[in-house]
Amino acid sequence: MLHWRNISGFLRTEVVSRMKDRQRGLAWLNGLRASKDGERLGVCMAIDIHSESLPAEIFAEILGRVDLKIEDSRVAFARALEQLIDERFNCPSRHRVEPGANGDRYIRVLRMDDLVRYFMSPTSYELEPTAPFEFEHTRKKYFEDKDQLSLGEFDRCWSGKRERVWVLPRQEYERLQAYAAEASKALPTVLIDALGFGTPAGAANQIPELVAVLYPPEIPVHSAQPTAVDACWFCEGGFYLSYRNEDSWGRTHSSSGTLPPVKERVHPKIEKLTDEYVAVRLGTPSESSVDPESPLLDAYARAEKIWPKSKRRARKTK
């Protein structure tokens, strides 16, 4: 069985040893486990390196920028990562699909207020709705009486500060649809759980409805298996987990810890969408349970599967 000492030893050997300022790396690593969710970050880094998603050097470069004045190692990592928004750090996994590859059709799941923030605000300074009547106005204005909206009219978009978009394959979406129907559950509720969205709380004291953006078969940017570099580490309570190299897809961890993982990828921002990208209203999710402990257990289980037995023994004997 893997332990933190295996993980930290591996990171020391593979990452810290490659740093110019090793003391900085060691200091950071020594504080990592004390940070809430820091252990999950460490395991994810180890999985990414072991599965050859990322070279250890990329983490060495990030750690070279951590500010040791930040008392929380996980937050320090997030801060350092924030300074490294460039191509090398944007969806950087080696397990990737090149632009224009005709393959799996993607689906992006987001909330209605995200749709406003990422597409409508950059296009026309539409403000995010803050009250139920404003949500209704936005829905009528853009979706009219329909459930679908083609996104070609939005000639600018934003993908968040880190310009990263998370998607799942259409087959997985359809599988979740079938599961929701079979289990007599609402699809939005199943989605936020399966995709690890956490609790569905939203702005304006109400839960905004979910929207799925259906992609065309080809997209103009590369997409890749997610890594720890793609995830957000600012706050505790996340559900991101890295995954081994199996099929160039990552795997989600469900918020409740009860649903099976779903394939996921990330891609950098697409400058301009076309009408082939269609947003579909899904409805409002209801409250669902969250298990904050399960991600770490699953992280170790994932690492266990790729950890060389010899290395495990070696660590243990030490």
Partner 1 sequence: MAKVKAQSAKDQIGTQPNPKKRARPSAEFDVDQWVDFIEIALYEDPSVLGLGPKEEELYQGFIRILNQLSENPGAQRRFGEAATRVFESVKPLPLYAEAIYTLLQIINHLTPTMAKPLVRRRVFERAFKDLQFAAMNLHSFALAIAGRWDVDPHLANHIREFNEGPLEFRDRILSLRLLARRDPSEAYSFLPKVISELQAEERVKQLYRELRGVTISHTYVGLFRWYRDNQTRLQEVANFPLFRDMLMHKMLPREALSKSTNDPYERLFAYYLHADSLVPAEMDDLYDMRGGSSAEFYGELLSVLDHARIRTKTIVDDPMSPGNMMMTRGTPLDQEVVKNKNGSISVDRITKESFLVALQELANNEMYQPYATN
Catalog residues that contact partner 1 under the rule CB under 8 A: 22-24, 26-28, 30-31, 34, 68-75, 78, 117, 121-125, 127-128, 130, 137, 140-142, 144, 152-158, 160-162, 166, 195-199, 201, 203-205, 232, 234-240
Task: Provide the minimum distance between the beta carbon of 284 and partner 1 in the complex, in angstroms, as a whole number.
Answer: 16
Name the nearest CA neighbour of 116 among 155, 145, 148, 157. Answer: 157
133 versus 317: smaller Cβ distance to partner 1:
133
45 versus 149: smaller Cβ distance to partner 1:
149
95 versus 117: smaller Cβ distance to partner 1:
117
Neighbours of 317 (CB within 10 A): 6
145 versus 182: smaller Cβ distance to partner 1:
145
**Roughly what angle, to the nearest 10 degrees, separates helices 38-50 and 4-14?**
60
Task: Provide the minimum distance between the beta carbon of 125 and partner 1 in the complex, in angstroms, as a whole number.
Answer: 4
Task: Provide the minimum distance between the beta carbon of 280 and partner 1 in the complex, in angstroms, as a whole number.
Answer: 18
Question: How far apart are the two ends of the chain, measured CA to CA in Å?
Answer: 15
Task: Provide the minimum distance between the beta carbon of 93 and partner 1 in the complex, in angstroms, as a whole number.
Answer: 19
2 versus 90: smaller Cβ distance to partner 1:
90
- Determine the Cα–Cα distance for residues 154 and 197; give it in Å rounded to an integer: 26
Q: Pairing between strand 250-251 and 148-150? A: unpaired
160 versus 260: smaller Cβ distance to partner 1:
160
158 versus 283: smaller Cβ distance to partner 1:
158
Task: Provide the minimum distance between the beta carbon of 316 and partner 1 in the complex, in angstroms, as a whole number.
Answer: 25
Task: Provide the minimum distance between the beta carbon of 218 and partner 1 in the complex, in angstroms, as a whole number.
Answer: 21
Type of residue found at 96: R
172: left (phi over 0), alpha (psi -120 to 50) or beta: alpha
14 versus 113: smaller Cβ distance to partner 1:
113
54 versus 165: smaller Cβ distance to partner 1:
165
Task: Provide the minimum distance between the beta carbon of 152 and partner 1 in the complex, in angstroms, as a whole number.
Answer: 7
Task: Provide the minimum distance between the beta carbon of 291 and partner 1 in the complex, in angstroms, as a whole number.
Answer: 13
Task: Provide the minimum distance between the beta carbon of 312 and partner 1 in the complex, in angstroms, as a whole number.
Answer: 27
Among all chains, which residue has been given the structure tokens 């060495």? 60
